[in-house]
Amino acid sequence: MNTSSALNLVPRREHRRSGLGLLEMLLVMAVAALILGAVMRFYSDASSKHDANETVAEVVQLVSVVHQVYGGQRDYSGLTTSSMLATGLFPKKYLSSDGSTIVTPGGGIILGLNGTANPGSVINFWIYGASRTTCIEIATADWGDILEDRNINGNSYSHYVFSPVQANEMCLDGNSNQIGFNFY
């Protein structure tokens, strides 16, 4: 028997690859990176929107507490940030760690809380360091009859609800927005 023919009688084993090749692994990593990027963007947008909604809720809470404290008086004379904090009615989650400043969920601070001492007086305060998302949320919110006017980055507006396009034009990128309020 010929050796070469004997070798041909033995069936050849097919060599199958096991595992993933380099190109397949790179493709899997690219798809995973795209999915992770989309999830991170969604989370960031949702987090910003949550902070903006919390800031609006905080403003409403602040006005409510002032109305509760000054409800029986004819004006808001003597109203200051420290006098409001001394009542203990303002939620602790909106206070700085030392309890001396009102902070917003987005990292801004509320300063200049005061009231006027004449009939028909208003509650006045400012939010400094508001995010763009918070600024847009406040600009497009319908505050009803309790808001006399608001000032957004140096521009004063009375009883006006802005469209998202208008709010987008007046609000600045980053956390540099300044928003003033005059509430009845």
Contact (Cβ atoms closer than 8 angstroms) between residue 116 and residue 183: no
How many C-beta atoms lie closer than 10 Å to residue 18's C-beta?
A: 5
pTM: 0.67
pLDDT exceeds cutoff 80 at 35: yes
pLDDT of 106 > 80? The answer is no
pLDDT tens column, 115-162? 766 655 778 888 888 888 888 888 888 877 777 788 888 887 776 778
Residue 113 clears pLDDT 80, i.e. is over it: no
pLDDT, residue 117, reads 62
Do residues 133 and 46 lie in contact, with contact meaning Cβ atoms separated by under 8 Å?
A: no
Model pLDDT, residue 15: 62
Percentage of residues of the chain with pLDDT beyond 70 = 85
Amino acid 119: pLDDT: 58
CA nearest neighbour of 147 among 156, 118, 136, 132: 156
Looking at residue 4, its pLDDT comes to 54
**What is residue 56's predicted lDDT score, i.e. its pLDDT?**
81
Regarding the domain delimited by 50-183, which CATH topology (the fold level of the hierarchy) does it fall under? TcpA-like pilin (3.30.1690)
